Amino acid sequence: MTSAVASTQLNHSEQKSPSEALRPARAVFSEGTLVAAPIHPLLTEKQPPLDEYYNALFTHFGPQRWWPGKTSFEVIVGAILTQNTSWANVEKAMGNLRAASLLSPSGIEKVPRRTLQRLVRPSGYFRQKAGKLKAFCEFLRVEYRGSLKRMFGTPTILLRPKLLGVFGIGPETADSILLYAGGHAVFVVDAYTRRILERHGWAKENPAYEDVRWLFERQFPGDARRFNEFHALIVQTGKHFCRTRHPLCDACPLGRYREEGR
């Protein structure tokens, strides 16, 4: 599947607020052109050594081979179903869909809504998630004639805002679809990413999604393979070490970097 050019600019689909317009800018490369990108006041001026973070995590955990799924469409379904639940619950719902031969855009769009709700029930919020799956499949049919190849052949800077306009698809889900199903060079920001940056002093409380994404994309522009592995490694770090309560900082492979951003 052909990867589209990465988008490294922030808020390309949103209008800037007055405060954003006044932010200082730094130069980054986007599609081979030097452009200005804002510095969010919730991020520190110094930049974290993300290359060192990546090497430390990769050495500790090894390759993660994400995202689980036999086809690109399965990855998309998993990205939608995993919202607010564990992957074990997603696997049960995916198993139901597979057994019913519904893991296809046309299958999900045509199946009665109540049947789909029953099948995805193990993933939680089953009514909303059934609606989200149907909304995506309708979007795919209307915008790209049902072709994932055509959809993922669209440049990231155009496709990402369209995905964000689909019911139930927020930034994290959209970027998971772009990166893991389509090979687009975008970084997926989750709660673990924010927590690590905050605890290490590289971000202030509750940094905006787009600003954290830009922080990674400006250091590794266009590197989809790195973004894929890096996000998966961060998830492992959050699960095993950087917990909400009682973090295991001394044992964490990133523990030695904890004070560098302070």
What is the extent of the structural domain holding 247?
18-65+189-257
Q: What is the pLDDT of residues 63-106, one digit of tens each?
A: 998 888 889 999 999 999 999 999 999 999 999 999 999 999 99
Question: In the predicted model, is pLDDT for residue 242 greater than 70?
Answer: yes
Phi-psi region of 205 (alpha: psi -120 to 50; beta: other; left: phi over 0): beta
Where would I find the H helices in 103-190? 105-110, 113-120, 126-144, 148-152, 156-164, 171-176
CA-based nearest residue to 233, from 201, 188, 199, 173? 188
pLDDT at 23: 34
**Looking at the domain assignment, is residue 9 inside a domain?**
no
pTM above the 0.75 mark? yes
- CA neighbours within 13 Å on the CB side: how many for 207? 28
Domain boundary among 120, 147, 181: 181
Residues 154 and 130 in one domain: yes
Q: What is the pLDDT of residues 32-66, one digit of tens each?
A: 333 444 444 455 567 889 999 999 999 999 999 88
pLDDT level of residue 171 (50, 70, 90 thresholds)? very high
Residues 28 and 129 in one domain: no
**Looking at the domain assignment, is residue 13 inside a domain?**
no
Question: In the predicted model, is pLDDT for residue 151 greater than 80?
Answer: yes
**Looking at the domain assignment, is residue 5 inside a domain?**
no
Residue with tokens 């915008």: 143
Backbone φ and ψ of 139, nearest 5°: -60, -45
> Mean pLDDT, the chain, as a whole number?
85
The CATH number of the domain where 194 resides is what? 1.10.1670.10
Residues 197 and 158 in one domain: no
Q: What is the pLDDT of residues 156-169, one digit of tens each?
A: 999 999 999 999 99
Residues 28 and 78 in one domain: no
pLDDT at 11: 31
Q: What mean pLDDT do residues 152-179 have?
A: 98
